[in-house]
Every structure is written in structure tokens, then in C-alpha cells.
Amino acid sequence: MKVLDTALFASQALRRAPMRTSMMLLAIAIGVAAVVTLTGVGEAARRFVSAEFASLGTNSLIVLPGKADTSGSGLTGMLIGETARDLTLDDVIAIARNPRITRVAPVVVGAGNASWRSRSREVTVIGTSADMREIQRWELQAGRFLPQLDLDVASPVCVVGSIIAEEVINSNRVVGEWLRIGDVRCRVLGVMAQGGISGAFNLDESVFLPVANAQQLFNSPGVFRIIVETRERADMDPIRRYIVDTVRERHQGVEDITVITQDAVLSTFDSIFGVITMALAGIAAISLLVAGVLIMNVMLVAVSQRTSEIGLLKAIGATHNQIVAIFLTEAAWLAALGAACGLGVGYTVSYGLGVAYPILDFRAPVWASAAAVAIALISGVVFGLAPARRAAKLDPVFALTR
Amino acid sequence: MIKLRGICRDYEVGDETVHALDHIELDIAAGEYISIMGPSGSGKSTLLNILGLLDKPTAGIYELDGSDVSDLPDDHLAQVRRQKIGFIFQSFHLVSRLTAHENVELPMLLMGTNKKERRQRAEEVLDSVGLRSRLDHRPDQLSGGERQRVAIARAIVMRPSFLLADEPTGNLDSKSGGEIISIVEDLNSQGIGLVVVTHDPDLGDRARRHLRMVDGRIHSDNPRKSA
Ligand SMILES: Nc1ncnc2c1ncn2[C@@H]1O[C@H](COP(=O)(O)OP(=O)(O)OP(=O)(O)O)[C@@H](O)[C@H]1O
Ligand SMILES: [Mg+2]
């Protein structure tokens, strides 16, 4: 029997039993679609988080007060935000002396009250430097960011988040107005673009001051963290060592800071989301396996329903291998068609999700689609093999009496 | 040429042994026309299945066209069956999803004959059994007699040496039964050996040689009485 004829014979058997065929296609398609959609969702989350972190710049370091276990990622220290001995502006200035460091942005954060004429509001006050904007790639909708000042120089200026601009300052020209923060008046230099979130802070509801002003406001010399940008990526390691050494020297030989790289954060998140994606893929793969078992069951039913056809094929001279080939080809057709439908459905659902949530990218990774199709084909053939062999082994005399 | 020597076919049922065939000795020459009759359970179908290589004897020697086929492996038997034997069943055994010509093409499909030749030969053979106008009908669109004619077309499309029919008219009324018989007798007159198992004495009498089976043995083997 020719390969093409076998394929045609098998596809004809499927086409002329549309109900049975569509049930099996459905089972396989659901499995494949589940793999594509679920891994797409996992990947979307991972990409979103990575992109958010990557926007911080890939050659920047974050210096935190307190010593976290560096054998881990340093992330725990950052998340818990444990404080030991404070970092000070003088530490920042000392660090900034290294010529391989292009930008330094200390960060001081606290709550404060912002008022304009009779209006006032609780705001997040972020004290930082002009470099912060370049490191974080923040956009402004009006005016400009904080000026380049020496870090320990205070200046009565501020930049406001978009919500502050709308809710507190009731004027059509926000830039140039005077805003009172605590009991200090400062001139508004610019308004941040909408929608910025940095870590836990909603930038829309924040007010930015030069770091020295913020320290006066909070009456504290401490720095919450320092973000350092190096000239090149290759500088990251030497600079990390340089920072640790410099601060230890200044802190009487005690190493009480943690330096983390974006890489560490990114790779931690990558591995977390990698696990999530794998888990989703695992769930989906199980549904594929279930589809495979379904194929086997339906093929077994098909074999017993078609016992007399098998007997007849044997009576007119079909060999063992020909009958295996016929039934296996049917299973392979089902798996291939089911996989194709599943890919179609999966990509359609992912596309739909993408339309519904445009900030996320739900495209399934190629490996997941490939694996889904491969598992569908393999399980179709593997689970199709037992029924096919059972068919081929039937005793023709027995089969013909069915 | 068929030669059976000491053919037995035993079935183990529980701890009893049923001797469906009990030391059968039989020679069938090319182009013979034989009827097999006998009471129910006497082993007629079992004998026909052995003759058609669908079933293997428990003991004995079967020679077909000079070569021993009693111990051939299954796939080899399938090949011999494809080339030398045509079956006709009481219940037709057409594949219900396939049209008349597709059913007739099946043996050639297994052979690997190309599509054009398949189609052409199927049409010729269906034409010869009077189904020219039913090529694309499926079995459920055909009458019983027409279905049996499709089955005959399928049985002879490979030009076998023997046509084995197990109660071919059992499911048919006497008119279409008569048509079927005249078709197979016509084929016999063209040289195909014909073995018909039947319960119908009139039909059995038409054969040139009458076998009567009782309890797995050939009870009598007579030429047609020239009336
Ligand atoms: N698969 C089987 N297992 C056990 N015994 C069987 C089997 N097939 C047939 N037999 C027995 O073998 C004997 C011969 O059966 P066979 O079918 O050849 O009879 P038959 O002459 O064709 O009868 P009928 O005229 O009713 O078709 C019977 O006694 C039957 O019970
Ligand atoms: Mg019988």
C-alpha cells in the first residue's frame, strides 16, 4: 500500500465520521491551546516585570544601608528594607568621586504635606538629584527636572507628580507656582508625565526635592538608597567593590551596606517567572496528555466499532503492518489537525488578551508552541499505537463475525 | 489446485475440545464448482475459512497450487489470500463509508496499484456485474442484491483462482439470490474455481460436485447426478 494512499484512506475514514473526528480534534486542540495560552500569560508577566526593571538601566547599581546575605540575591534585604547604620550624603559624595561613575542619585523618601493657597494634601516626598531622571528615564509633561546642584546644597525648588499638579495647584500654569512643602516654600520647576511607578512609589502622587532639602525636611542625615550608574557594563563589578571598600573605610571598617545590581534583581525575577511559566506549561502539558489518553480511548472504541472492517481488510489481504499503518495514520492526522486548530485557538486567545490588556504581551514563547505540537503529535502516535496494534492482531475469522 | 491432507481444526472450549474439522482429505482442481452442505455446526464455515487461509488448521497439510501453505507466517498468508482467493460473505461486508467503486478498489489499494488503474479496473468489474450506474453509491444506498454484487466485484477484481462463498444468498430474496448465483456461475464458466456453502438444496444441487459434511467430516462427496 502506498504512503499517500494510506494517508488518503485514513483521512477519508476521519472525514466520513465527522462527529467522532471533531470530538477528538476538540480534545487535542484544547490541550494545545492551553499550552499556548498559559505559557503566553506566564511570559507576559515575566516580560512585563523584566521590562519595568530594565527601564532602570542595565548598568546601574543600587546601594542599600544594611548588610544582606550576599550569597543570595540581595533582594531580600532590599524588600525587607532593613536598616543598620545610615548611609549619609557624605558617603554619596565620596562614592561619586570615582571617574568610572557617570551618575549618582541618592534617594530620601518620606511623607509630607504639600499645600498651595488653601489646598493641601499628604504627598510622598522624594529627595534626589538631577541624575535620577536620566537613570530612571523619567519623562516630564511640563517644565524641567531638578537642577544639577552639589548634593549637599539645598535649593527651594521642586518637581511635582501629575496628580499633585491637578489636585493641589489650581492654576493653569503649574510651572513657576510656589508650593509649600512642610513649612518650606519652593518653586515648581516641572510636572512629571503621568503613569510612573517606581518600586512601591506612585510618582503621580509624589513631590521631588533636591536631596539636601528633603533631609532638612525630615530632619535626618540618612539616605534611603543610592543609585549609581557606571560608564560601562563591564565596570559593574569593580565599581561594586570600590563602593563597598569606600563605605567600609568611612564606617570604621564595618561592612554595613548591600550593593545589588539590576542583573541580580532581574535574574531573580526571571527565575521566579521561569518557574511560574514552567508550572503553567506543566499544567498545560497534563491537559495534552489527557488529550492523548482520550485519543487512545476513542481509537480503541473506533477499533472495536470497526472490527468487521478490519476482518474484511484481512480477508482481502491486508498485512499486519498495513493495518497498523492505517490506524496509526488516523491517529497522526488527528493529532496534527488538532494541534493546528489548538495553535490557532491559542494564538487567537493570546491576541484577544493582548487587545484587552495592551500593556502586556501575551505571545507564547516559540518553545512552548513547538513543545505543544510535539507532545500532541507524540501522544497521538504513542497512544494511537496500542489500538492500531490491537486492530492488526485481531483474528480475521473472529473479526468477520462481528 | 488445492490439496488437503489430514486437516483438523480443534477449538478448546473450557476443558473440552471441539473437533470442528476432523481429518479432512480433499482435492479441488482449478475451475471446479463445488457446493458444501450439511447441518448447522458441521464445520462448513470452518472448512471454507481454512481453504481461504483466514484460519489455520490445528493439524494437517494444505497445499495450494503446489506449495505448502499450512505453516506460512500471517503476512505471507495475507499476500497469498490477496492474489488467489476471493471471499463472498452472507452479510456482504462492504465498508459502509466507502462508495461501490472505493470498496472494489480496496484490494488494489492494499496492492499499491496506482489510482488510475484502480479506478479503471473497478469500473470494468462493476460493469461486469451490472452496476455501471451505481459506481458512486454507498452501501446504504444499494439494495441487498446490489451490495452482494459489489462484494463479488471486489472478490474478483484481483482475478483470484478461487471464489469462496459462505451462504452468499442467505440474506437475499430468491430473485436477487438467483441473480447472484448466475453471476458467480458465469465467473466459474470463465475458469474461476467456485466453492459455495449453502443450506439451500436447490442451490447446492446446481454445483457439479456436492460435498456433505457431518460432525467435522466429509460425509459424502458426489458428482452432480445427471438428471
Ligand atoms: N471460535 C470458536 N470457538 C469454539 N468453537 C467454535 C468456534 N467457531 C466454531 N466453533 C465450533 O465449530 C463447529 C463448526 O462450526 P462452523 O461455524 O464451521 O459450522 P457451520 O457448518 O458453518 O454451521 P452453520 O451452518 O450454522 O453456519 C461448531 O460446533 C462450532 O460450535
Ligand atoms: Mg457457517
Does the structure show a pLDDT above 60 at A85? yes
User: What's the gap in Å between A73 CA and the centre of ligand 1?
Assistant: 79
- Whether A313 has its CB under 8 Å from any CB of chain B: the answer is yes
A2 close contact with B: CB closer than 8 A: yes
What confidence score (pLDDT) does residue B226 get?
61
Judge whether B159 is closer than 8 Å to chain A, CB to CB.
no
Which band of pLDDT confidence, cut at 50, 70 and 90, is reported for residue A196? low
In percent, how much of chain B has pLDDT > 90?
Answer: 96
Q: Please determine, for residue A78, whether its predicted confidence score (pLDDT) is greater than 70.
A: no
Q: What's the pLDDT score for residue B170?
A: 93
CA count, 13 A, side-chain hemisphere, B145: 14
Average pLDDT for A77-103 = 77
Would you place residue A199 in the very low, low, confident or very high pLDDT band (cuts 50, 70, 90)? low
Q: A329 pLDDT exceeds 80?
A: yes
Give residue A178's pLDDT.
92
> Range of B166's domain?
2-223
Contact between chains at A16 and B55 (C-beta distance less than 8 A): no
Distance B45 CA to ligand 1 centre (A): 7
Which residues contact residue B161 at a Cβ distance below 8 angstroms, ignoring those fewer than 6 apart? B30, B65, B84, B85, B192, B193
Res. A69: pLDDT tops 60 = no
Binding site membership of B43 for ligand 1 (Cβ less than 6 Å): yes
ipTM of the modeled complex: 0.93
Sign of torsion over alpha carbons A120, A124, A125, A126 = negative
The pLDDT of residue A83:
45
Nearest ligand to residue B50 Cα: 1
**Residue A186 CB neighbour total at 10 angstroms:** 20
Residue A180 has pLDDT above 60, yes or no: yes
pLDDT of residue B194: 97
Of all atoms in ligand 1, which is nearest to the CA of residue B12?
A: 4
Name the more confident of B110 and B225.
Answer: B110
Residue B25: band (very low, low, confident or very high) from pLDDT cuts 50, 70, 90 = very high
In 3D space, the residue among A357, A346, A353, A348 whose CA is nearest the CA of residue A281 turns out to be A346
| Closest-approach residue (CA) in chain A for B77 | A317
> Is the confidence at residue A77, as pLDDT, over 70?
no
Assess whether pLDDT exceeds 80 at residue A315.
yes
Question: Which of the two residues, A28 and B179, has the higher pLDDT score?
Answer: B179
Q: Which residue has the higher pLDDT, A339 or A235?
A: A339
CA-nearest residue to B49 within chain A is A397
CA–CA separation, B47 and A117 (whole Å):
113
Specify the ligand 1 atom closest to the Cα of B13.
4
Q: Which residue has the higher pLDDT, A322 or A264?
A: A322
Average pLDDT, chain B: 94
B18 lines ligand 1 (CB under 6 A): yes
Q: For the domain that residue B207 is a member of, what is the CATH number?
A: 3.40.50.300
Beta bridge mates, B166: B197
- Count the Cβ atoms, other than its own, within 10 Å of residue A105: 23
The verdict on B106 touching A (C-beta cutoff 8 Å) is: yes
User: Would you say residue A266 has pLDDT above 80?
Assistant: no
What are the residues facing A351 on neighbouring strands? none
- Per-residue pLDDT tens over the stretch B156-189: 999 999 999 999 999 999 999 999 999 999 999 9
Average pLDDT of the residues in B28-39:
96
Residue A372 scores a pLDDT above 70: yes
- Band (pLDDT 50/70/90 cuts) for residue B99 is very high
* Contact assignment for A315 to B93 by CB distance below 8 Å: yes
Q: Is B117 on the interface with A (CB under 8 A)?
A: no
B8 lines ligand 1 (CB under 6 A): no
| Residue B54 predicted with pLDDT over 90 | yes
- Encode pLDDT of B104-113 as tens digits: 999 999 999 9
Question: What does the alpha-carbon distance between residue B196 and residue B204 come to, in Å, rounded to a whole number?
Answer: 8
Q: Which amino acid is at B51?
A: L
Give the pLDDT mean for A352-376.
84
- How far away is chain B from the Cα of A333, in angstroms, using its nearest Cα? 18
Return residues with CB closer than 5 A to ligand 2 (ion): B 45
- Contacting residues of B for A312, CB less than 8 Å apart: 93, 95
The pLDDT of A269-293, averaged and rounded, is: 77
B81/A317 touch (CB, cutoff 8 Å), yes or no: yes
Of B44, B199, B211, best ligand 1 pocket probe by most atoms within 8 Å of the beta carbon: B44
Q: Tell me what the mean pLDDT of segment B36-64 comes to.
A: 96
What percentage of residues in chain A have a pLDDT greater than 70? 91
Q: Which atom of ligand 1 is nearest to the CA of B199?
A: 25
Partners of residue B154 in chain A, C-beta under 8 Å: 316
Nearest to A312 among B75, B82, B95 (CB): B95
Domain count for chain B, please give it: 1
- The CA-CA-CA angle for residues B82, B164, B201, to 5°, reads 175
